C-alpha cells in the first residue's frame, strides 16, 4: 500500500527538485569563503595580497573558460547527473587543496578545479529542466536558485559565528566544509537519471513503446557485435548534434527580445563575477587590520538572505517585460554602477559593506528574471543552449577583462583602479540598455499611432 504513494511521489516534479535543492544547499555551505583572502594572506598560508589578486584568482577565470565548452557537451551526452557529481568532486578537491597546500602553484591548482566546479553549474541548472514540465519552469528556477542562496547564507553565518566566537580555526573550518561537501556528494547519487537529454539522447517518436524498446535493443546488440560500426554511428550522431546546435543557435538569437536579454546576461555576469572575486581584496584595502574581515561572513549572509527572499518572491509574480524590460535592466544596472562607485571610493567599511549588499541583491533578482524569462520562451533544448552560450560569452568578456586589468602579465592594476573599471563597466551597460529601451518605447508608440490612424481611415 505504501509503495504506490512513494512511487507516485518519485515521478512527481517535486521529487527531483527536492533532491537537487538538498544537494544545492549542502554544496554551497562554505564557511571559509567570506574569509578566504584573510586566510591566504594570514599566517596559515603567508601569501601576499598581490599574489592572491594578480596570480592566483585570475586562474579561476581562465579555467572556467577553458572547460566550459567540453563540460557543456559532456553535460548533455552524460545526461546531467554525472556532471552534478563531477561538480561536487571538483569542489572537494578545491577545498582540500586550499587546506593542505601552501604555495602559489598549489593555490592555482585549487582555482583550476574551482573553475571546473563553476562550469558544472550548467549541469545543476539544466538538470531540472529535463525533469519538469514547461509550466513549472518558473517555480523550479526560483526554488533551485533560492536554495543555493540560502546555502551561501547559512555558510556565511556559520563562518561568522565560528570565527567570531573562536570555535574553530580556519584550517578546521576547511575540514568541516569538506564534510558538508561529502554529504552533498552522497545526496547527488539519489538524483533520478533523466531518460533523455537535449541533443545526444533525444527521444524519437515511434509507432509504439514496444517498437522503441525493440529498436533500442537492436542498436545495443549492433554496438556490441561491431565496435567499428559503433564508433561510426557515434561520429555521425555528434555531427548531427553540432549541426542541430548551430541551427538552434541561429533561430534562438533571431529573436530580438531574447538577444537583448542575453546580451544583458553576458555583460552583467562578467561584471558581477569580477566584483565578487575581488571584493574581499577591496575590503582588506579599506580597513587593513586584523579585524577588517571580521564581518565579511555577516555581510555575505545578509546579502544572500535578502537575495534569497527576493528571488523566491519573483517566482510568484507574473510581470510582463516585453515593453519595459530593457528600461528596467538599464535602471537596475545603473543602481549597480552607483553601488560599485560608492564601495570603491568610500573609506568606511560599513558603507562598503552596505553597497555590496545592494549590488548583489539587484543582480540576483535581475538574473533570475532573465533566466526564467528566456526559459519560458524556449524549449528545454534551446534554453540549455542559450544558457551555455550566454555563460561562455560572459567568460570570454571576463577573460579579456582579467587579462588586461588584473593579470600580472597585463596592467596588474591595484584594487581601487580595478573597481573603478568595474563600476564604469556597469555604467556602460546602463547606457546601452537605456538607449535600447527608449528606442523600444518610441517604436511601440509609433506603431500604436499608425494602427489608430489606419482604424480611423477605415472608418
pLDDT in tens, 32-49: 988 998 899 888 999 988
> Which pLDDT does position 339 carry in this prediction?
95
The count of residues in the chain is: 459
Would you tell me the crossing angle of helices 14-27 and 81-100 to the nearest 10 degrees?
Answer: 10
> Which pLDDT does position 316 carry in this prediction?
56
Question: Nearest to residue 118, comparing CAs of 17, 242, 45, 30?
Answer: 30
Superfamily of domain 239-458: MFS general substrate transporter like domains (1.20.1250.20)
Give how far Cα 405 sits from Cα of 293, 383, 410, 411, Å. Answer: 25, 32, 6, 5
Give how far Cα 288 sits from Cα of 32, 270, 417, Å. Answer: 19, 27, 17
Question: Nearest to residue 424, comparing CAs of 283, 275, 279, 280?
Answer: 275
**Structural domain boundaries of the chain?**
1-192, 239-458
Q: What angle do CA 266, 280, 65 make, to 5 degrees?
A: 35
> Which pLDDT does position 7 carry in this prediction?
57
Gap between the terminal Cα atoms of the chain: 69
> Which pLDDT does position 459 carry in this prediction?
54
Tell me if domain 1-192 and domain 239-458 are identical in fold. Answer: yes
Taking the CA of residue 35 as centre, how many other CA atoms within 13 Å lie in the half-sphere pointing to its CB?
30
103: phi then psi, degrees, rounded to nearest 5: -105, 170
The grid coordinates listed for 401 are 577583462
> Which pLDDT does position 379 carry in this prediction?
67
> Which pLDDT does position 380 carry in this prediction?
61
> Which pLDDT does position 336 carry in this prediction?
95
205: phi then psi, degrees, rounded to nearest 5: -75, 125
pTM: 0.75
> Which pLDDT does position 207 carry in this prediction?
41
Q: Residue 331 in 3-state DSSP?
A: helix
Which ranges in 130-226 belong to alpha helices (H)? Answer: 137-164, 170-188, 209-225
Longest dimension (CA), the chain: 83
Question: Nearest to residue 378, comparing CAs of 366, 367, 386?
Answer: 386
Domain 1-192, architecture per CATH: Up-down Bundle (1.20)
> Which pLDDT does position 318 carry in this prediction?
57
The grid coordinates listed for 57 are 584568482
DSSP labels for 26-54? HHT--TTGGGHHHHHHSTTT---HHHIII
Give the other-Cβ count within 10 Å of 450's Cβ.
10
In the chain, which stretches have pLDDT less than 50?
A: 1-2, 4, 205-236, 291-292
Question: Nearest to residue 242, comparing CAs of 37, 77, 52?
Answer: 77
The grid coordinates listed for 202 are 533525444
Asked whether the CA dihedral 133, 137, 140, 145 is positive or negative, the reply is: positive
Amino acid at each position: 500500500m505504501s509503495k504506490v504513494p512513494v512511487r507516485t511521489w518519485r515521478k512527481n516534479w517535486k521529487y527531483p527538485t527536492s533532491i537537487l535543492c538538498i544537494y544545492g544547499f549542502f554544496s554551497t555551505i562554505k564557511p571559509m569563503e567570506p574569509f578566504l583572502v584573510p586566510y591566504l594572506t594570514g599566517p596559515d598560508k603567508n601569501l601576499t595580497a598581490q599574489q592572491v589578486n594578480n596570480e592566483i584568482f585570475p586562474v579561476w577565470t581562465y579555467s572556467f573558460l577553458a572547460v566550459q565548452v567540453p563540460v557543456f557537451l559532456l553535460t548533455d551526452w552524460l545526461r546531467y547527473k554525472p556532471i552534478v557529481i563531477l561538480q561536487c568532486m571538483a569542489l572537494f578537491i578545491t577545498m582540500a587543496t586550499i587546506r593542505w597546500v601552501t604555495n602559489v602553484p598549489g593555490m592555482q591548482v585549487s582555482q583550476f578545479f574551482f573553475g571546473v566546479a563553476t562550469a558544472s553549474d550548467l549541469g545543476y541548472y539544466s538538470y531540472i529542466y529535463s525533469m519538469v514540465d514547461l509550466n513549472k519552469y518558473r517555480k523550479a528556477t526560483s526554488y533551485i536558485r533560492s536554495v543555493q542562496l540560502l546555502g551561501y547564507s547559512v555558510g556565511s553565518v556559520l563562518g561568522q559565528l565560528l570565527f567570531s566566537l573562536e570555535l574553530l580555526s580556519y584550517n578546521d573550518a576547511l575540514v568541516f566544509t569538506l564534510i558538508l561537501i561529502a554529504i552533498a556528494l552522497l545526496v547527488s547519487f539519489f538524483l533520478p537519471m533523466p531518460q533523455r537529454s537535449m541533443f545526444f539522447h533525444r527521444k524519437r517518436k515511434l509507432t509504439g513503446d514496444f517498437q522503441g524498446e525493440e529498436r533500442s535493443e537492436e542498436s545495443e546488440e549492433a554496438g556490441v557485435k561491431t565496435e567499428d560500426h559503433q564508433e561510426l554511428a557515434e561520429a555521425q550522431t555528434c555531427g548531427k548534434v553540432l549541426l542541430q546546435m548551430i541551427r538552434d543557435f541561429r533561430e534562438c538569437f533571431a529573436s530580438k527580445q531574447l538577444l537583448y536579454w542575453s546580451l544583458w546576461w553576458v555583460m552583467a555576469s562578467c561584471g558581477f563575477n569580477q566584483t565578487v572575486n575581488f571584493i574581499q581584496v577591496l575590503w582588506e584595502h579599506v580597513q587593513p587590520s586584523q579585524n577588517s574581515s571580521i564581518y565579511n561572513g555577516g555581510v555575505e549572509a545578509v546579502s544572500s538572505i535578502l537575495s534569497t527572499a527576493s528571488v523566491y518572491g519573483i517566482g510568484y509574480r507574473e510581470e510582463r517585460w516585453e515593453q519595459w524590460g530593457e528600461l528596467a535592466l538599464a535602471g537596475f544596472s545603473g543602481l549597480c554602477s552607483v553601488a560599485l562607485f560608492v564601495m570603491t571610493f568610500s573609506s568606511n567599511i560599513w558603507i562598503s559593506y552596505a553597497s555590496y549588499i545592494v549590488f548583489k541583491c539587484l543582480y540576483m533578482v535581475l538574473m533570475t528574471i532573465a533566466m526564467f524569462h528566456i526559459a519560458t520562451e524556449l524549449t528545454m533544448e534551446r534554453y540549455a543552449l542559450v544558457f551555455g552560450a550566454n555563460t561562455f560569452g560572459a567568460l570570454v568578456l571576463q577573460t579579456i577583462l582579467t587579462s588586461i586589468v588584473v593579470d600580472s602579465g597585463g596592467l596588474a592594476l591595484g584594487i581601487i583602479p580595478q573597481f573603478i573599471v568595474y563600476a564604469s563597466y556597469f555604467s556602460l551597460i546602463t547606457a546601452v540598455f537605456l538607449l535600447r529601451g527608449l528606442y523600444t518605447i518610441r517604436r511601440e508608440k509609433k506603431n500604436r499611432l499608425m494602427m489608430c490612424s489606419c482604424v480611423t481611415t477605415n472608418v
